[in-house]
Amino acid sequence: GIQVEQSPPDLILQEGANSTLRCNFSDSVNNLQWFHQNPWGQLINLFYIPSGTKQNGRLSATTVATERYSLLYISSSQTTDSGVYFCAVLFSGAGSYQLTFGKGTKLSVIP
Amino acid sequence: EAQVTQNPRYLITVTGKKLTVTCSQNMNHEYMSWYRQDPGLGLRQIYYSMNVEVTDKGDVPEGYKVSRKEKRNFPLILESPSPNQTSLYFCASSSEQGQETQYFGPGTRLLVL
C-alpha cells in the first residue's frame, strides 16, 4: 500500500513563530488532505489539495504531486494551533478506496 | 448544516458484549468509511463503502462488521469486543468517488474491559 511519512514528528514553537510541516507519499494519489486534530480529538479539515497551492488565513499548503510531497505552512503561530496535524492521501480506483494517514506532526505552541 | 454524526460519543463495555456504533451523514455522500486511531499507529481504515450495499475491507477489518442498507447510515458492529479494540473511532464520508474533501464525525471513544 501507499506509504505516507510526515516530518517532523514533534515541533515546539514560540507563539508568533512560523513553521513548515512536510508530508511525503510513495505513489501517485487521487487526492491529499491536511487535517488538524485538536486537543479534544476532533479532526478538522484544513485543506483538500491534490496539487497546487491554497491559502486560508495564516495557513497555506502546497502539493507537488509529481514529486510526491506536500507542505503545510503555519505563520504567526498561536496557542490555538496546538494539536496534531495529519496528512492523508487517497488512492481510489479498480474497486478500491484507500485513505492512508501519516502518523502526524504534534505541534505545541507555547506563549 | 452538513455534518457526520456518530453515537455514542463515549462507551465503556465488557469483553464479548455486542455493540454498534452508528454513523450518519446528511450530505448525500456515496462514500463512507470507518477508522480507528491508536497512539503511535495513527488512523487506520477499518471498512469502507462506495455505495448502498457495497462494502469492503480496509487495513484492519478483523473483529468488525459493517452494513450499508441506506445511503446516509453506515454502522460499525463489534460482535464480540475485546480489549484490543479499545480505541478512538471515526466515521467519514465524501462524494465524487472520493475526489473531494473527507468529512469526519466527532469520534467515539471506546473502552473494552
* Secondary structure of A85-103 in HEC code, one letter for each residue: EEEEEEEEECCEEEEEECC
A85 in contact with B, Cβ within 8 Å:
no
pLDDT at site B27:
92
d(CA A101, CA B45): 9
Local confidence band at B96 (pLDDT 50, 70, 90 cut-offs): low
Q: Which among A48, A95, A101 has CB closest to B43? A: A101
A7 in contact with B, Cβ within 8 Å:
no
pLDDT at site B13:
96
Local confidence band at B24 (pLDDT 50, 70, 90 cut-offs): very high
Q: B49 or B100: whose pLDDT is higher?
A: B49
A58's CB contacts (< 8 A; 6+ apart) are A74, A75, A76, A77, A78
Question: Is the confidence at residue B40, as pLDDT, over 90?
Answer: no
pLDDT at site B101:
81
Question: Is the confidence at residue B1, as pLDDT, over 90?
Answer: no
pLDDT at site B97:
61
Question: Is the confidence at residue A96, as pLDDT, over 80?
Answer: no
Average pLDDT over residues B14-41: 95
* pLDDT tens track for A36-95: 999 889 999 999 999 999 999 999 999 999 999 999 999 999 999 999 999 999 887 777
DSSP for residue B85:
G
pLDDT at site B112:
97
Distance from CA of A58 to the nearest CA of B (A): 20
A43 in contact with B, Cβ within 8 Å:
yes
Interface of B with A (CB under 8 A): 31, 33, 35, 40-45, 48, 50, 56, 58-59, 88, 90, 92, 97-104, 106-107, 109
Average pLDDT over residues B70-81: 97
Cα B26 to Cα A105, B29, B66, B99, B107: the distances in Å are 31, 8, 19, 18, 17
The three-state secondary structure class of B108 is strand
Question: Is the confidence at residue B34, as pLDDT, over 90?
Answer: yes
